[in-house]
Structure 1
Amino acid sequence: MNREEIKKAVANAVVDFARSEAEAAINAIDLDDVQKLVEAQMKNLTEPLEAEIRTTNSWWVKIRNRLYIILMQQAVNKIVEDVKKKIA
């Protein structure tokens, strides 16, 4: 083997190792836990909107905030669903 062949063989071995490690990491992800984490983070966004719904007298603000909450929840569900499809 010459120097270039050795470099190529080492590079291929490193790539194969990295690929197998990445596949193992992806397979180890529990998507239900991911969804729970994202939903928990969503509370940071929705709680102020919910508080404003409870404290305001404006129907416009109540409707607007409720729409924001629904759209954010649908977006989160769609994102998690897409991730599940791509990983599976």
Structure 2
Amino acid sequence: MTMNREEIKKAVADTVVSFARSEAEAAIKSIDLEDIQKLVEAQMKNLTDPLEAEIQTTTSWWVKIRNRLYITLLQQAVKAIVADTKQKIV
């Protein structure tokens, strides 16, 4: 069986797409999600440190409670996002 030019291009494209897909899947599966969680938590310090500092320096109970709530919500959001990402990747 002889393939025409379009059939050859399609076969090559299908092969390249299949190869790229398998490489992408392997790359995604090799990601250490624990490392990602640690990186995200480290970045979270950029958000939570100023809130913690304000908690330590203010006399307002409202600000202390609000900031503690913000910190807790941010931490829970990170855990939920990482768990959701783990579920989707695995």
Q: What interval of TM-score do these two structures reach, taking the shorter chain for normalisation?
A: over 0.9
**1:79 matched to which residue of 2?**
81
- Give SS of 2:42's match: helix
Deviation at 1:15, TM superposition (A): 0.4
Q: Distance in 2 between matches of 1:84 and 1:23?
A: 14
Deviation at 1:65, TM superposition (A): 0.3
User: Residue 3 in 1 paired to residue 15 in 2?
Assistant: no
Using the aligned pairs only, state the percent identity: 80
Deviations for 1:33-54, whole angstroms, at most 9, x for unmatched residues? Answer: 0100000000000000000000
Question: Root-mean-square deviation (CA), in Å?
Answer: 0.5
| TM-score normalised to structure 2 length | 0.96
Deviation at 1:80, TM superposition (A): 0.2
**2:58 matched to which residue of 1?**
56
Runs of 4+ in 1 over 4 A off after TM superposition: none
Gaps of 5+ in 2: none
Residue correspondences, number: 88
Q: Distance in 2 between matches of 1:52 and 1:70?
A: 15
Matches within 5 A, 1:14-53: 14-53=16-55
